[in-house]
Amino acid sequence: MSDTPQRISQYNPRNLTEDDVNAVVDELERRIVERFFSNVGKGVWQLVWRALIALMVLLAAYGATKGAN
């Protein structure tokens, strides 16, 4: 693209330069990546928590059957 500012719309008199557009895109990309990895981390911790709960239930079931004999 050229270095001349492009008019966004006829109702908005402000102009954006190529550097402005790049700055906005970079910030949006940073936020999207940050949210993605935050959500991935939450998913991993959720799986760990579920595995821990399942392990405790299995241990309790094993203890209950072992004590019955």
Strand, coil or helix: 8:
strand
Dist. CA 14–CA 4, nearest whole Å: 13
Sequence-ordered list of residues with C-beta below 8 angstroms from that of 8, at least 6 positions apart, any chain: 14, 15, 16
Name the nearest CA neighbour of 19 among 39, 43, 1: 1
pLDDT bin (cut points 50, 70, 90) of residue 16 is confident
Dist. CA 15–CA 25, nearest whole Å: 16
List, for residues 53-63, the tens digit of each pLDDT value.
999 999 999 98
User: In the chain, where are the structural domains located?
Assistant: 16-68
List, for residues 30-54, the tens digit of each pLDDT value.
999 999 999 999 999 999 999 999 9
